[in-house]
C-alpha cells in the first residue's frame, strides 16, 4: 500500500515537525548540563586543546569526547554562541530522521517509514533535547545509523556499509561508552538466536566491523590516556591514580549499572515505564497499543525486525535494572519506538479501531491546551493572552478540518498537539524561565572588548555565566584564592550579595554592575511558578567590576 495522503502530505507535515524544533535553537542554553557541556567545548577552542576536557573547575572525565568535539568544531567555524553549540546536534537529529526512514523502509515499507519519521520529529523529549542539548541527539542518530548499515552488511550490500556501520558505532561509543554497543548489536543477537543463524558469529564482515570500530575509537582512547593515565597525580573523583581508560571501559558503564562506580544513582524498576508515557507524547498511547499489537496480534512477524524490537527490549531492561536512571536516557530508543508506533498505525489505518485513537488524540490535544492555559494563568507570563490565542486558534482550526481518513485525522491532531506544546514552550515558557538564569543575565553586562579582563565566580557556581562571559572564567574555591584574584584588578567577579558586602566592607574598590535574580530553573516548584509567591524563592546574584 502506498497511501496517497502520506505521499502528498508527508513533506509538509515533516517540514512543520522540523520547524517546530527550530525556535529552541535560538534560546539561551539552559543549566546545568547543557551549559556545562557548552563550556567544556568552549574551553577546547579557547585553549586550543582537543585532548584534555576541562569543566567544573577541574579535569573532566564523566563523558567521552565526541559531543564536545562536534560543538568545538562548530565554534571554530561559526563562533562561540548558544546557537552554534546546538547546531551540530540539530544536524544529527535531521540525519537521524533520515536513518529512521531508511530503516523503516527496508524493514517494513515506505508508508511505515514516513509515519515513523513524522512520529519521531515531534516526540516530546526528542524535541526538548534540540533545545537542551546534551549527548542524546548524537547518540540516537549514531545508534540507528549503525543498525541500518548493519542491515545492509547482513544483506551483503557494498562493503562501504561495513565501514559506515563501524564509524557510527564508534561515534556512539565515543559519545556515551561501550554500552552503546548493546543497543546496536543486541537486536541482532536476538535475531540470530531466534532464526538459528549461529554461523553469523563467524562471519568475517562482523569481525572486520569490530576491528574498524576499535580503530575508530583510538582518538578517544589516546585522549583519555594522555589526560589521565599519564598523570596519576591528578585528583579525579577525590582520588589519585585514576585511569581514564579504565573509567571509559568499566567505571562509567558497569560501575553505573552495578552502582559501584564513582558516580552513583538510585532508581526504581518501574521508572522508565511511567517516564515513557510523558516523554514520548503525543504518541504514548499509540506506542503502548503498538507493543500490545506486536505481542498479541501481529501476523506478519518477520524475524529480521528483531533488530529493532530486540534492541529496544534489551536497552529498556538494562535501563530499568540499572540504579542510575535519568529520563533523557530513553531518547536513544525513540527511533525504535517510532517504528513500533508507525507499524501499528499503518496496520490499523483501514480499521475502525483507529477512530478510537483519533478520539483519544483529540482528548490529549484539548487537555494540553487546558494545561497550557492554566500554567499561563498561574505564572503570569508576559503576553499570556497572545499565547492562549495562538494555541486556541490551532486547537479550534484542527476540529474544523474535515477529513475521512482516520490516519490523517490522527496525524493532524498529534501535530496540532505538538504545535501548541512547542510554540508555548519555545516562544513563551522557556524565555520566561531563562530570565531567572542569573549567570546568563550577568554575562550580558560584560562587554565583548573586555574578554581579556580576568573573570571569575566565587560563592555561586553558574555554568551559563562561564559559557556566555566573553572570555575564560575561573572558579575560585577559597578565600585565599579570592584575595589573589582581586590583585589582578581590573577584573569581574560573579558572586553572592554576602560576598559583595564583605568585600565592600574590606575596602575593595568594587562597582556593582548587575543584580540578576536567580532560581534553579530545571527544578521547578509551585512556589516559583505561582506569580504571587515567586519573589519569596528568588535569590539575588551580583556581578562586580573590581577596579585597580
pLDDT average, residue stretch 476-487: 92
16 burial type by CB count under 10 A (0-12 exposed, 13-18 middle, 19+ buried): middle
Residue 226: what pLDDT?
Answer: 94
Query: Are both 171 and 86 inside the same structural domain?
Result: yes
Query: Are both 246 and 303 inside the same structural domain?
Result: yes
Residue 421: what pLDDT?
Answer: 96
Query: Are both 213 and 334 inside the same structural domain?
Result: yes
- H-type alpha helices, 401-541: 406-424, 430-434, 438-443, 463-468, 479-486, 497-505, 526-529
Look at 91 and 319; give whichever has higher pLDDT.
Answer: 91
Q: How many domains does the chain have?
A: 3
What separation in angstroms does the CA of 183 have from each of 91, 215, 275, 475? 22, 20, 19, 38
Query: Are both 511 and 362 inside the same structural domain?
Result: no
pLDDT confidence bin for 273, thresholds 50/70/90: confident
Whole-structure pTM value: 0.93
Is the pLDDT at 216 greater than 60? The verdict is yes
Is the N-terminal amide bond of 32 cis, ω within 30° of 0? Answer: yes
Look at 520 and 300; give whichever has higher pLDDT.
Answer: 520
Is the pLDDT at 403 greater than 90? The verdict is no
pLDDT confidence bin for 384, thresholds 50/70/90: very high
Residue 144: what pLDDT?
Answer: 97
Q: Is residue 84 part of a domain?
A: yes
Q: Which domain holds residue 535?
A: 440-546
Least confident of 53-57, 68-72, 271-275, 464-468: 271-275
Q: Is residue 168 part of a domain?
A: yes
Q: Is residue 286 part of a domain?
A: yes
Is the pLDDT at 485 greater than 70? The verdict is yes
- Which tens digits make up the pLDDT trace of 13-43? 999 999 999 999 999 999 989 999 999 999 9
Residue 266: what pLDDT?
Answer: 63
Query: Are both 332 and 387 inside the same structural domain?
Result: no
Q: Are 381 and 428 in contact (CB under 8 A)?
A: yes
Is the pLDDT at 265 greater than 60? The verdict is no
- Which tens digits make up the pLDDT trace of 327-339? 778 899 999 999 9
Average pLDDT, the chain: 91
Query: Are both 135 and 99 inside the same structural domain?
Result: yes
Domain boundary pick from 347, 372, 398: 347
Is the pLDDT at 62 greater than 80? The verdict is yes
Residue 472 to residue 412: CA distance in whole angstroms: 48
Query: Are both 417 and 480 inside the same structural domain?
Result: no
Residue 228 to residue 53: CA distance in whole angstroms: 10
Q: Is residue 201 part of a domain?
A: yes
Domain boundary pick from 305, 329, 347: 347
Is the pLDDT at 364 greater than 80? The verdict is yes
Is the pLDDT at 254 greater than 80? The verdict is no
What separation in angstroms does the CA of 378 have from each of 429, 434, 530? 12, 17, 5
To which residue does cell 515499507 refer?
109
What separation in angstroms does the CA of 379 have from each of 28, 143, 491, 529? 20, 39, 37, 5
Residue 272: what pLDDT?
Answer: 78
Look at 269 and 131; give whichever has higher pLDDT.
Answer: 131
Domain boundary pick from 347, 369, 402: 347
Reduce the DSSP state of residue 144 to 3 states and report it: helix
Query: Are both 96 and 220 inside the same structural domain?
Result: yes
Query: Are both 235 and 294 inside the same structural domain?
Result: yes
Query: Are both 414 and 503 inside the same structural domain?
Result: no
Query: Are both 204 and 295 inside the same structural domain?
Result: yes
Q: Would you state the cell numbers that stand for residue 37, as one nine-digit string? A: 557541556
Nearest Cα neighbor of 507 from 547, 460, 455 is 547
Query: Are both 279 and 218 inside the same structural domain?
Result: yes
Nearest Cα neighbor of 103 from 272, 291, 311 is 311
Q: Are 262 and 237 in contact (CB under 8 A)?
A: yes
Is the pLDDT at 262 greater than 60? The verdict is no
Residue 255: what pLDDT?
Answer: 60
Q: Is residue 2 part of a domain?
A: no
Q: Is residue 79 part of a domain?
A: yes
Residue 9 to residue 324: CA distance in whole angstroms: 42
Which CATH number goes with the domain that contains 518? 3.40.190
Q: Is residue 405 part of a domain?
A: yes
Q: Is residue 1 part of a domain?
A: no
pLDDT average, residue stretch 66-71: 97
Q: Are 267 and 323 in contact (CB under 8 A)?
A: yes
Amino acid at each position: 500500500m502506498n497511501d496517497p495522503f502520506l505521499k502528498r502530505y508527508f513533506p509538509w507535515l515533516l517540514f512543520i515537525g522540523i520547524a517546530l524544533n527550530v525556535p529552541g535553537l535560538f534560546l539561551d542554553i539552559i543549566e546545568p548540563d547543557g551549559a556545562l557541556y557548552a563550556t567544556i567545548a568552549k574551553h577546547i577552542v579557547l585553549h586550543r586543546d582537543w585532548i584534555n576536557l576541562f569543566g567544573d573547575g577541574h579535569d573532566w572525565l564523566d563523558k567521552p569526547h565526541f559531543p564536545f568535539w562536534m560543538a568545538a568544531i562548530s565554534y571554530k567555524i561559526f563562533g562561540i554562541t548558544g546557537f552554534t553549540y546546538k547546531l551540530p546536534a540539530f544536524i544529527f537529529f535531521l540525519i537521524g530522521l533520515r536513518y529512521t526512514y531508511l530503516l523503516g523502509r527496508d524493514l517494513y515499507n515506505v508508508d511505515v517509514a514516513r509515519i515513523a519519521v513524522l512520529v519521531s520529529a515531534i516526540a516530546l523529549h526528542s524535541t526538548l533535547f534540540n533545545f537542551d542539548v546534551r549527548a542524546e541527539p548524537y547518540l540516537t542518530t549514531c545508534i540507528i545509523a549503525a543498525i541500518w548499515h548493519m542491515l545492509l552488511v547482513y544483506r551483503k550490500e557494498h562493503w562501504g556499509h561495513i565501514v559506515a556501520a563501524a564509524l557510527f558505532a564508534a561515534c556512539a561509543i565515543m559519545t556515551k561508552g561501550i554500552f552503546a554497543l548493546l543497543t546496536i548489536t543486541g537486536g541482532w543477537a536476538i535475531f540470530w538466536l531466534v532464526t538459528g543463524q549461529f554461523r553469523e558469529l563467524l562471519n568475517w564482515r562482523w569481525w572486520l566491523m569490530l576491528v574498524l570500530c576499535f580503530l575508530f575509537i583510538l582518538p578517544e582512547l589516546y585522549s583519555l590516556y594522555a589526560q589521565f593515565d599519564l598523570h596519576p597525580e591528578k585528583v579525579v573523583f577525590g582520588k589519585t591514580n585514576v585511569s581514564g581508560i579504565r573509567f571509559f571501559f568499566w567505571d562509567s558503564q558497569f560501575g553505573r549499572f552495578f552502582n559501584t562506580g564513582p558516580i552513583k544513582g538510585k532508581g526504581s524498576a518501574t521508572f522508565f515505564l511511567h517516564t515513557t508515557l510523558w516523554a514520548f507524547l503525543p504518541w504514548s498511547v499509540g506506542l503502548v497499543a503498538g507493543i500490545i499489537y506486536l505481542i498479541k496480534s501481529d501476523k506478519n512477524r518477520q524475524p529480521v525486525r528483531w533488530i529493532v524490537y530486540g534492541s529496544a527490549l534489551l536497552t529498556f531492561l538494562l535501563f530499568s535494572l540499572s540504579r542510575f536512571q535519568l529520563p533523557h536516557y530513553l531518547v536513544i530508543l525513540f527511533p525504535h519506538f517510532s517504528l513500533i508506533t508507525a507499524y501499528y498505525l499503518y496496520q490499523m489505518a483501514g480499521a475502525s479501531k483507529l477512530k478510537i485513537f483519533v478520539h483519544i488524540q483529540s482528548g490529549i490535544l484539548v487537555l494540553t491546551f487546558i494545561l497550557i492555559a492554566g500554567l499561563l494563568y498561574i505564572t503570569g507570563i508576559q503576553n499570556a493572552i497572545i499565547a492562549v490565542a495562538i494555541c486556541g486558534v490551532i486547537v479550534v482550526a484542527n476540529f474544523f478540518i474535515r477529513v475521512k481518513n482516520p490516519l490523517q485525522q490522527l496525524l493532524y491532531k498529534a501535530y496540532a498537539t505538538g504545535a501548541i506544546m512547542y510554540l508555548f514552550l519555545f516562544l513563551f515558557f522557556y524565555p520566561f524561565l531563562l530570565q531567572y538564569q542569573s549567570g546568563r543575565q550577568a554575562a550580558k553586562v560584560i562587554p565583548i572588548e573586555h574578554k581579556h579582563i580576568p573573570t571569575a565566580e566565587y560563592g555561586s557556581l553558574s555554568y551559563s555565566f562561564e559559557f556566555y562571559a566573553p572570555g575564560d572564567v575561573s572558579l575560585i574555591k577559597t578565600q585565599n584564592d579570592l584575595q589573589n584574584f582581586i590583585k589582578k584588578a581590573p577584573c569581574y567577579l560573579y558572586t553572592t550579595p554576602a560576598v559583595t558586602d564583605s568585600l565592600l566592607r574590606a575596602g575593595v574598590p568594587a562597582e556593582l554592575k548587575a543584580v540578576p535574580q536567580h532560581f534553579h530553573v530545571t527544578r521547578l516548584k509551585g512556589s516559583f511558578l505561582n506569580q504571587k509567591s515567586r519573589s519569596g524563592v528568588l535569590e539575588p546574584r551580583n556581578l562586580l567590576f573590581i577596579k585597580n
